[in-house]
Amino acid sequence: MEGVTVYELDVSRLFPSSESPDAPETSYVNPEALAYEKYQHPATPPSQILSFKESKQYQKSRLLPGITHIQFASGFQVTDTHIQDLLAAPQCLKNLEVLIIKGIEAATLPKKLKGRSKPKEAKSAEPKSIDISNEHIVTVLKRCPNLRVLHLTGCTSVNDITFKTVIKHCPHINEVKITGLPTQPGSVTTASLAYLISRGGASACSLQEINLVNQKIDPRVVTVLSNSRPELTIIEGAQHELENAGVGVSLNSLEGTYIHNSGYVVGIDGASLKYKDCYSPMWDKNDTQSLDSLRQRFDADGPEGFWSDEEARDDTTAHSEPHTDLAQSTDDTFGTKGTAGSAFHSHAYADGNQHADQDAGIDIAMAVRDLRRLAIQDGTLDQIRRIEEIE
């Protein structure tokens, strides 16, 4: 039949039956793998932890070479002066594994009495932004070759350059959290996700979790990244678009957020979904673009100079990893909760694209993954015999 591409595929090894107890284990998605678990950095000896709870306690002389964990507590107004102090302690940065800025959380103003009048009701102030510049934090990150955890909570001025720097210069990074405010988006954009996709699996190989809540990112590109790096958990959401614009929401609240893993939404509002309720965002197979044009399509140019270095240019124009197609979402957010969606994106190999073989391989793998999930739910493993795509 014209216009039909059929792939015959033996998937028996992916679905071991009771008749083949010795069938090899596979690395495909399973229910347990979709359960969201917060990344936990191994415990640090107390002697290596430096925690500043308030500004009057701060002493830059405490930034010693043996420190591997630096934390600015909630309420500490970190400034560029503090970041410059870090730069003045290069041996400390060389050994640093954890850098955490917790932000300025919402505070409850005390009740006030005036004469004999009744006490006024307590008022809650919204979280405030930590105003540190990209220039200084980028320089710090370039000098932290052993960094594993970076939290920049409520740092609304920090942008894509910082995200790119930690991916490029911190090879052991496990967790990155750069968030805006519930009432104000930050400055990280879809360009950061596009950069991580373009780098393939060669960069930040140990990365397990990124948190970009209240940032200007396109959730469709989040799905592409989640598909390409199934080992990565991604937390995103626009709390500033909630009813009442996120007023009253704390910095660490997961209200209005989505948790992604292996191409699926596995958690909503901070709560993990049951396996049968996890869903893959829906894609329109009739409208596709390649990864090469992702920057133009999803406004992922980033700040000035973001893609200017030769290495990044090579990654976006002559990417050597398997080519991935990108499709237009059928709505502005996600598919219907409880449905798997389609793993098939409209493939360039149908019209003789030069990436045909690579596309076929990666999309078959994605299709098998979704078929496996659906078959487990429906109890139809024995009926899977082939994969078809009709353009």
Q: Does the pLDDT of residue 239 top 80, yes or no?
A: yes
pLDDT averaged over every residue in the chain: 74
pLDDT band at 228 (very low <50, low <70, confident <90, very high): confident
Contacts of 363 (CB under 8 A, 6+ apart): 325, 343, 344, 345, 347
Report the candidate in 146, 54, 66, 158 with the shortest Cα–Cα distance to residue 98.
Answer: 146
How large is the average pLDDT for residues 326-352?
32
Whether pLDDT at 335 is above 90 = no
Query: Tens digits of per-residue pLDDT, 281-295?
Result: 765 433 345 555 677
Between 189 and 118, the higher pLDDT residue: 189
**In this structure, which CATH number among 3.80.10.10, 1.10.1040.10, 3.40.47.10, 3.40.50.920 belongs to the domain 35-107+124-332?**
3.80.10.10
Residue 173 structure tokens = 């990074």
Contact 175, 208 (CB under 8 A): yes
Is the pLDDT higher at 376 or at 205? 205
| Closest of 176, 166, 173 to residue 140, by C-alpha | 166
Give tens-digit pLDDT for 8-27.
555 454 444 444 444 334 33
Cβ-contact 330, 284 below 8 angstroms: yes
Confidence of residue 112 (pLDDT cuts 50, 70, 90): low
Give the mean pLDDT of 187-203.
89
Residue 365: alpha-carbon gap to chain centroid: 22
User: How much is the pLDDT for 90?
Assistant: 96
Mean local confidence (pLDDT), 76-101: 96
Give the range among 33-47, 65-79, 99-113 with minimum mean pLDDT: 99-113
The Cα angle at residue 383 between residues 382 and 384, in degrees rounded to 5: 95
Q: How confident is the model at residue 137 (pLDDT cuts 50, 70, 90)?
A: very high
How far apart CA 257 and CA 96 sit, in angstroms, is 30
Residue found under tokens 């798997």: 340
Instruction: Return d(Cα 62, Cα 44) in angstroms, integer.
Output: 17
Three-class secondary structure assignment of 113-159:
CCCCCCCCCCEEECCECCCCCHHHHHHHHHCCCCCCEEEECCCCCCE
Say if residue 300's pLDDT is above 90.
no
Residues of the chain with CATH 3.80.10.10: 35-107+124-332
Burial letters 301-340, b for 16+ CB under 10 A, else e: ebeeebbeeeebeebbeebebbbbbbbebeeeebbeeeeb
pLDDT at 385: 38
